[in-house]
């Protein structure tokens, strides 16, 4: 069996929590409320609670498995260990492909906030710089994540203050044009869940966390609790400050909330906070996708060269550079914002495998009963199939392509193995 160089354990609870929270408070917090409100209307809070409940089930399952298998790769590793190679591959492939598209979307969003006329060039520069930060080692990644997270939290606090103190905008009365319906609650919850899914990054860094059996569960639950509280407060404030129709139609709801307040002079701060959020989410995404790619390469589900670890800072540099290259190609050749929708389906499938794997564990703490894993599995599948059909069909095609590619690789590998014997 090929021996691979191991990553070094350098992250504590605070670092791991910051990476997870930074992912959950990425660019999504500045835009996700609009499409979710368009689907659920005044019932947005129901969608937030459903998404938070499913995310809690997934977080418990992730914490159980990460403590038992403290290696890079997250649910790709858990699926292989507990369910078999194919479920693990489906989880890993869904994560890598979906989140790679998300990387491109985050980079492009950053470009639009910073320099709309040169969005693609700025996006490519951001990918290059953040990949360079990752190559300097995981401690540099954690440090930059903490700095960006501080900027985002300050921005969100400012938006909250503006929504509470500032006057309500004209036309924000309940008599505005109705939007959404009860039928939109579940699709809206699927979108909100995408915003909660950042704690997966903590699990994918399992090989770089100190005392993982203790650190990973604490970091996952702390990051999720903080993100849930922030999303609930923001949803309540936005619904009270803007009418559902205004919230649904706005491309930048947090920016609009400040614009319609006494603190409209602070709009540049919100723009800067959104840019910081994009960078923080992009940094965590590149890190997580690179580690999962490395884990899949170790098992020969991707080219083995991607498993190489080295350099002065002991990082998976081949995987990191490859992910960056693919993201840049997407930025240059595709309309990324139209394809990122299928990422939600991939993430939900990823966590469905997580819950299924956790369900098979014989030893479990009292806080993680089997029924919670079953609830998480059912919740993920329900939210996945209720997403817009285009997103579902797009991700099914991508998953089918990956499955076909792996099947073909296995078929070609068997004759070579027989010849070697």
Burial class (CB in 10 A: 0-12, 13-18, 19+), 208: buried
Query: Has residue 233 got a pLDDT over 70?
Result: yes
Which segment, 33-37, 125-129, 242-246, 314-318, is predicted with the most confidence on average?
125-129
Any idea which of 99-103, 146-150, 207-211, 314-318 has the lowest mean pLDDT? 207-211
Query: Has residue 171 got a pLDDT over 50?
Result: no
Query: Band of the pLDDT at 172, cuts 50, 70, 90?
Result: very low
Contacts of 356 (CB under 8 A, 6+ apart): 79, 82, 83, 87, 373, 377
Averaged confidence pLDDT in the chain: 81
Any idea which of 114-123, 124-133, 182-191, 238-247 has the lowest mean pLDDT? 238-247
Domains of the chain: 13-412 (1.20.1740.10)
Structure pTM?
0.79
pLDDT score, position 394 = 82
Q: Show the CA angle centred on residue 224, arms to residues 133 and 249, nearest 5°.
A: 85
Q: Work out the angle between the directed axes of helices 267-298 and 138-165 (0-180°, nearest 10).
A: 140
| Structure confidence by residue, pLDDT tens digits, 68-87 | 887 666 788 889 999 999 99
Burial class (CB in 10 A: 0-12, 13-18, 19+), 182: exposed
- Residue 153: name the closest of 84, 79, 95, 233 by CA: 233
Query: Has residue 137 got a pLDDT over 80?
Result: no
Q: Show the CA angle centred on residue 413, arms to residues 412 and 414, nearest 5°.
A: 95
Query: Has residue 57 got a pLDDT over 60?
Result: yes
Place of tokens 């589900």: 301
Mean pLDDT along residues 371-383: 94
Find out whether 37 and 244 touch, Cβ atoms under 8 Å. yes
Query: Has residue 174 got a pLDDT over 60?
Result: no
Give the C-alpha separation, 293 to 312, whole Å: 20
Query: 200 vs 395, which has greater pLDDT?
Result: 395
For the chain, state the CA radius of gyration: 21
């Amino acid at each position: 069996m090929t021996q691979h160089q191991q990553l070094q354990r350098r992250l504590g609870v605070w670092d791991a929590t910051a990476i997870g929270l930074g992912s959950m408070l990425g660019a999504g917090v500045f835009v996700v409320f609009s499409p979710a409100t368009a689907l659920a209307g005044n019932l947005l809070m129901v969608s937030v609670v459903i998404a938070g409940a499913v995310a809690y089930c997934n977080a418990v399952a992730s914490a159980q498995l990460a403590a038992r298998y403290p290696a890079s790769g997250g649910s790709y590793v858990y699926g292989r260990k507990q369910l078999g190679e194919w479920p693990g591959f489906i989880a890993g492939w869904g994560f890598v492909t979906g989140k790679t598209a998300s990387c491109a979307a985050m980079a492009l969003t950053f470009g639009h906030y910073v320099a709309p006329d040169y969005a693609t060039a700025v996006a490519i520069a951001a990918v290059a710089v953040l990949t360079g930060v990752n190559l300097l080692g995981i401690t540099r990644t954690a440090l930059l994540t903490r700095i960006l997270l501080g900027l985002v939290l300050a921005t969100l606090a400012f938006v909250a203050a503006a929504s509470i103190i500032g006057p309500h905008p004209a036309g924000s009365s309940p008599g505005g044009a109705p939007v959404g319906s009860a039928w939109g609650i579940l699709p809206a919850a699927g979108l909100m869940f995408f915003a909660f899914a950042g704690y997966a990054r903590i699990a994918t860094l399992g090989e770089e966390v100190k005392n993982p059996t203790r650190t990973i569960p604490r970091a996952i639950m702390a990051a999720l609790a903080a993100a849930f509280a922030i999303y609930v407060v923001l949803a309540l404030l936005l619904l009270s400050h803007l009418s559902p129709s205004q919230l649904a139609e706005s491309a930048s709801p947090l920016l609009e909330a400040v614009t319609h307040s006494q603190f409209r002079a602070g709009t540049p701060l919100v723009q800067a906070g959104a840019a910081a959020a994009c960078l923080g989410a992009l940094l965590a995404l590149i890190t997580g996708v690179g580690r999962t790619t490395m884990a899949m390469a170790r098992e020969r589900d991707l080219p083995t060269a991607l498993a190489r670890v080295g350099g002065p800072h002991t990082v998976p540099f081949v995987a990191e550079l490859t992910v960056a290259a693919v993201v840049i190609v997407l930025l240059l050749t595709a309309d990324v914002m139209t394809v990122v929708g299928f990422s939600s389906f991939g993430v939900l499938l990823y966590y469905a495998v997580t819950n299924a794997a956790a369900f098979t564990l014989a030893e479990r703490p009292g806080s993680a009963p089997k029924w919670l894993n079953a609830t998480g599995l059912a919740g993920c599948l329900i939210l996945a199939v209720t997403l817009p059909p285009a997103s579902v069909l797009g991700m099914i095609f991508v998953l089918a392509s990956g499955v076909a590619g792996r099947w073909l690789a296995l078929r070609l590998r068997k004759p070579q193995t027989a010849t070697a014997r």
